[in-house]
């Protein structure tokens, strides 16, 4: 039997045929079309799934289940998407709508949860009992795995590390609260920190790489400049690492998983980022003379969305 995993994103919807071991055998993708109605978007998705099945040389009878990772939350019992801002889906019956076209069990979960599951089944945290996956991109998402299963909380509202408060009365977040962790630990956060600094100290490698335009500063430019020992970039990088390390220590001090996996766009900075975090985070853990969780980089990359979704079944 095979499973289908679907990774719903703001620009595209990728689907894959996945075997029992978590290998992707075939992939298809369609663009996300916010101009379509929900029903038409799902009809287009169903058509792409039929293509996927057809090009894979299997039949619908070979499909065990369909899993969908969404950048939002869903009611696991009813299969209704409760909130998925990027897709403009609010209280919509995703499972029922898809089952009109393909009558298979359909499972839906948050994309960070799904990536956490993928890494714990077929990625860097495979074989561990408990893990926390933190995806560091434009924002911050997280997923908790306990005893091999996604823990999305007793009411399905957990796993939102990005919206825990890490600075009381801090900067306003897009969610309306102040001081959310993603305001200090996301890619957007380090970009904002750099832009604030270059306003008063424009003579920096960061600005050279950004062609003199602060709007062109991105996380990679900052990391690259820090790697080249540009003093301002190093200052921004070090503060950002302190913030991310305190976020990681918060997870350890409260929950202490076996392993913490870092994914998302920022994790592409690789060992330069990870080594700095390894030097920094233990000082923020209360009982840091004991063995601590491993902190590692995700290994499945963008495929985690498809693999993890397939594993929901």
Footprint on this chain of its own copies (rule: CB under 8 A)? 73, 82-83, 129-130, 142, 144, 146, 151-161, 163-170, 175, 177, 179, 184, 243, 246, 249-258, 283-293
Nearest residue (CB) to its own copies, 160 versus 303? 160
Q: Residue 192: in which H helix or E strand, if any?
A: helix 187-200
Kindly report the length of the chain: 313
C-beta closer to its own copies: residue 88 or 177? 177
Least Cβ distance, residue 115 to its own copies (angstroms): 17
Q: With respect to its own copies, which residue has the nearer C-beta, 224 or 256?
A: 256
What is the Cα–Cα distance from 240 to 140, expressed in whole angstroms? 14
Pick the closer one to its own copies by CB: 17 or 132. 132
Check residue 173 and report its DSSP letter.
P
Q: How far is the CB of 292 from its own copies (least distance, A)?
A: 6
Residue 167 burial by CB count (10 A; 0-12/13-18/19+): exposed, middle or buried? middle
Sign of the Cα torsion 80, 33, 110, 108 reads: positive
Shorter beta-carbon distance to its own copies: residue 232 or 259: 259
Least Cβ distance, residue 290 to its own copies (angstroms): 6
Least gap, CB of 75 to its own copies (angstroms): 9
Measured from the CB of residue 130, what is the shortest distance to its own copies in angstroms? Answer: 5
Q: Are 49 and 102 in contact (CB under 8 A)?
A: yes
- Is residue 124 within 8 Å of residue 295, measured between CB atoms? no
């Amino acid at each position: 039997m095979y499973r289908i995993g679907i990774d719903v994103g703001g620009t595209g919807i990728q689907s894959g045929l996945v075997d029992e071991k978590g290998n992707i055998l075939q992939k298809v993708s369609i663009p996300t079309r916010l101009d379509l109605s929900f029903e038409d978007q799902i009809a287009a998705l169903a058509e792409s799934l039929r293509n996927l099945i057809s090009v894979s040389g299997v039949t619908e009878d070979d499909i065990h289940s369909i899993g969908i990772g969404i950048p939002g939350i869903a009611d696991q019992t009813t299969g209704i998407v409760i909130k998925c801002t990027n897709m403009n889906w609010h209280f919509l019956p995703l499972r029922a709508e898809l089952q009109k076209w393909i009558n298979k069990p359909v499972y839906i979960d948050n994309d960070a949860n799904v990536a956490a599951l993928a890494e714990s089944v077929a990625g860097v945290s495979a074989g561990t009992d408990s893990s926390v996956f933190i995806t560091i991109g434009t924002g911050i998402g997280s997923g908790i795995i306990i005893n091999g299963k996604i823990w999305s909380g007793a009411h399905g509202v957990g796993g939102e590390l990005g919206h825990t408060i890490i600075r009381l009365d801090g900067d306003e977040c897009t969610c309306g609260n102040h001081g959310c962790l993603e305001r200090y630990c996301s890619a957007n956060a380090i970009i904002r920190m750099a832009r604030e600094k270059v306003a008063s100290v424009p003579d920096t490698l960061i600005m050279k790489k950004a062609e003199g335009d602060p709007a062109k500063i991105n996380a990679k430019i900052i990391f690259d400049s820090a790697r080249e020992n540009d003093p301002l970039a190093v200052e921004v990088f070090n503060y950002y690492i302190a913030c991310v390390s305190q976020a990681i220590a918060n997870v350890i001090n409260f929950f202490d998983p076996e392993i913490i996996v870092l994914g998302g766009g920022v994790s592409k900075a690789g060992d330069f980022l990870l080594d700095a975090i390894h030097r920094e985070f233990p000082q923020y853990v209360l009982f840091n003379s004991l063995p601590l969780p491993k902190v590692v980089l995700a290994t499945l990359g963008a495929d985690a969305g498809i693999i993890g979704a397939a594993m929901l079944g």
